[in-house]
Amino acid sequence: MRPQIRQLAGLLVACFLIGSVHAKLNIFACEPEWAALTQELAGGHATVFAATHAGQDPHYVQARPSLIARLRSADLAVCTGAELETGWMPMLQRRARNPKVLAGKPGYFEATQQVTLLEKPAELDRAEGDVHGDGNPHIQVDPRRVLEVAMALSSRLQQLDPGNKPNYEQLLQDFTARWKASIERWQSAAAGLRGKRAVVHHREWIYLLDWLGMQRVGSLEPKPGIPPNMAHLADLKTQQADVIILSPANDKKPSAWLQEQTGTPVVMLPHTVGAVPNSDNLFDLFDEIIRRLSESART
Amino acid sequence: MNKTILNAAVVVALSLPVGAVSANPAGIAELRQMILEMKQQHQQQIQALEARVQQAETRAAAAEQKARSTEGKIVAVEEQVQAKPRSGDNSFNPAISLVFQGGFSSYSQDPEDFHLEGMPLGGEAGLQDEGLALWETELTASANIDNLFYGQATIGLHTHEGEIEVDVEEAFVDTLSLPAGLGLRFGRFYSSVGYLNEKHTHAWDFADAPLAYQAFLGGQYRDDGLRASWVAPLDALFVEVGAETLRGDSYPGGGNSGDFGAVRNMFVNVGGDIGQNNSWQLGVSRVDVDVEERSAGGHAHDDDGESPTFNGDSDLTVVDAVWKTDLGNDKALIFQGEYFRRDEDGQVTFAEGAGEALFNYDGEQDGWYLQGVLQFNRQWRAGVRYDRLSADNDLTMVSNTTGEADDDIFEESGYQSSSHDPDRWAAMVDWSPSEFSRVRLQYARDDSRAEDTDDQIYLQYIMTLGAHGAHQY
């Protein structure tokens, strides 16, 4: 018994030491887009873990054991907020035993807190489907909002790791310059899309449409989070849409049916980093979104 | 514009009428005066214009400076966190949810007669009432109490023999900010034994508890007590080690003798991911119970004093395993199994008629279940479960004043194991229109009782009002 206790004590001490020697920030990103942004802004000064990948819907993630373990040793959690992670993040925060990343602490960052949200419901009624009281949380498809998040996230990094403040400032300057130039490029490439009418699968594209000056005339899901049904799809036939937008995570059948019925082209857009080939960072993600959208509009 | 007109007027005034007015000196003086005035006016206008230009220049400079300071904002933007209300569960403080379950149950055998030979039923074990019934209504409130504590309480309402019973199912506090991965839970809570025990029934994949839960945990074990646990600081591997001490008021405990904790539980949970789409968890728990006057046997709710009581030790070991594979596009495959082994040693008192029997009881029992659930899409799932139990009890009579034969007493007490091992097959299909509602159809072929097979059909609904529930693994 004695030697066992001693071994256990040794293990504990070792664990503490490992914990304290860790020089890099340990960052837990709830979604791949925030992992990518954090990587841009923290460079080599942080280890970034993405809790979900593009193939997973962040609404429906479970508080699985590996995520508890990851959050246990995180210095910062970067999430979307606006109730997107309400099914799993609060539970992870309770079970990870890491006071640093509790809500309200500097170690917990919500991207949607940094920008103005659209589609804030006037009344909360679950009959309206999976609505979010704070507004639509899918802000990552508007590069202007991504920039706002980047600025706030960088200042959070500087706050948590003041020793590397100049480095984070430099990384932010660098990112901002490249990002602003890219936004101009994307905007001019997408100039022809202004005013176009889109039907979306899930209501996750409003920020993209808002940025490009496009109109959403309907969604395949009758209510957010409720799968499409025939009656609703039939109603959509009358909408004179220019394009039907879905993400790789969506069921392809409803959009294919509507395309068959109306001849409206379907375009699959990556909703986050890594959702389609050639979208492995934020720049490539928007390149791909603009490329695919422009191509579908031409046909 | 004014300036041009003025200039023109001056030129005209100076050149044209010179000859005409030269004859009149008074006129000339007047003219001079006029010109002077015009000149003065002109100068004032020019000055005003110059001032305006200057003003414009200052403004431009200010704008430039403002622009520069905006540029400076890129370096560190003031976060808006404090300004906006926080989202999530905390927008309702506390988060309140009401869950009610009910449905229709049909059995080919008498549900009141449900029993497991050699494993007398205690606690809430048993079958749902036959026919249409509201099974359970739970009201849960939870919130961070402050920066140190999280609290959660569940009030349960059940109908029992026409009377509504109000029950504090859970009321516990979790610490939030202990150092080094340590955490305490105190109050009344579901013990961390096995995998399903900590989950509320509405989060279960089947309409009823596995037979092993019926036999060894009285359906589901919760009690008043204290839990201490620790989560290891490992990168990707979840390791949780914990210990509980519980009062022992509910089955498998048998009443609290006044000392601190008649039930002690030690547990380890380990879990992680394999690849991007597979996750797993393994758990081992060991429950030691000092049993005092535990009455069990017959239907759990029968309080007519006919149930035999057990005094002694009860040791339960549970091993649980879960495997989940995400097949993409909302499809998933979930396997789950638990193995229970129980050793009980002590004496049983059984009052029968005017007399009483006392016998030694040395029992070894085990049980397990294995289930697989396939999620077809976000709304539809189907699953199969197999249950099995076995008991090997050694009974020796110490004293018998009932006037009945020893063997009859053993059999009536429910402690006598038989050569028949209870087993059951169950299959279910459920439909969840949203995360807040679920309807389930389940069929089971139950061979728990040696005599007859019971065909069990459940049509169950689970409705959640209020706060979004947690996606517990």
Tell me which residue in A69, A103, A114 faces B235 most closely, judged by beta carbons: A69
Note the helical H segments in B310-355.
Answer: none
Q: Hey, are the CB atoms on B75 and A130 less than 8 Å from each other?
A: no
Q: Is B428 helix (H, G, I), strand (E, B) or coil?
A: strand
pLDDT value at B77 more than 90: no
ipTM of predicted assembly, 2 dp: 0.84
Exposure of A197 in the CB half-sphere (CA atoms within 13 A):
10
Q: What local confidence, expressed as pLDDT, does residue B14 receive?
A: 45
Q: Hey, are the CB atoms on B468 and A86 less than 8 Å from each other?
A: yes
Give the domain ranges of chain B: 2-73, 90-466
Could you say which residues from 278 to 337 on chain B have a Cβ atom under 8 Å away from some Cβ of chain A? 279-281, 324, 326, 328-330
Taking the domain B90-466, which CATH number applies?
2.40.160.10
∠ Cα A167 A280 A109 (to 5°): 50
Note the helical H segments in A161-205.
Answer: 165-189
pLDDT value at A22 more than 70: no
Taking alpha carbons only, the member of B270, B252, B385 closest to residue B317 is B252
Going from the C-alpha of B100 to that of each of B163, B169, B438, B456, the distances in angstroms are 17, 14, 11, 21
Higher pLDDT, B308 or B12: B308
Q: What local confidence, expressed as pLDDT, does residue A21 receive?
A: 44
A126 chain-B contacts, CB cut-off 8 A: 434, 436
Q: Which residue has the tokens 């899309």?
A: A193
The architecture of the domain spanning A2-184 is 3-Layer(aba) Sandwich (3.40)
Taking alpha carbons only, the member of A37, A31, A35, A67 closest to residue A48 is A35
Which residues lie closer than 8 Å to B350 by C-beta, 6 or more apart? Answer: B308, B309, B356, B357, B358, B359, B402, B409, B412, B413
Could you say which residues from 57 to 76 on chain A have a Cβ atom under 8 Å away from some Cβ of chain B? 57, 60-66, 68-70, 72-73
User: Lowest-pLDDT range, A253-267, B14-28, B147-161, B206-220?
Assistant: B14-28
Q: What is the mean pLDDT of residues A204-211?
A: 94
Percent of chain A whose predicted confidence (pLDDT) is above 90: 72
Residue of A nearest to B273 (CA): A66
From B176's Cα to the closest Cα of chain A, the distance in A is 6
Which residues lie closer than 8 Å to A19 by C-beta, 6 or more apart? Answer: A73, B233
Could you say which residues from 161 to 200 on chain A have a Cβ atom under 8 Å away from some Cβ of chain B? 169, 172-173, 176
Q: What local confidence, expressed as pLDDT, does residue A110 receive?
A: 96
Taking alpha carbons only, the member of B411, B288, B304, B424 closest to residue B359 is B411
B150 chain-A contacts, CB cut-off 8 A: 94
Q: Hey, are the CB atoms on A173 and B174 less than 8 Å from each other?
A: no
Q: Which fold has domain A193-298?
A: Rossmann fold (3.40.50)
Q: Hey, are the CB atoms on A148 and B178 less than 8 Å from each other?
A: no
Q: What local confidence, expressed as pLDDT, does residue B333 receive?
A: 96
Higher pLDDT, A127 or B267: B267
Q: Hey, are the CB atoms on A126 and B434 less than 8 Å from each other?
A: yes
Q: What is the mean pLDDT of residues A125-150?
A: 89
Q: Give the integer Cα–Cα distance in Å for A66 and A69.
A: 5
pLDDT in tens, A168-179: 999 999 999 999
Token pair recorded at residue A205:
């594209």
Give the phi and the psi of residue B445 in degrees, each rounded to 5: -110, 105
pLDDT value at B108 more than 90: yes
Q: Which residue has the tokens 């020697």?
A: A21
Query: Residue B42 — pLDDT band, cuts 50, 70, 90?
Result: confident
pLDDT in tens, A275-287: 999 999 999 999 9
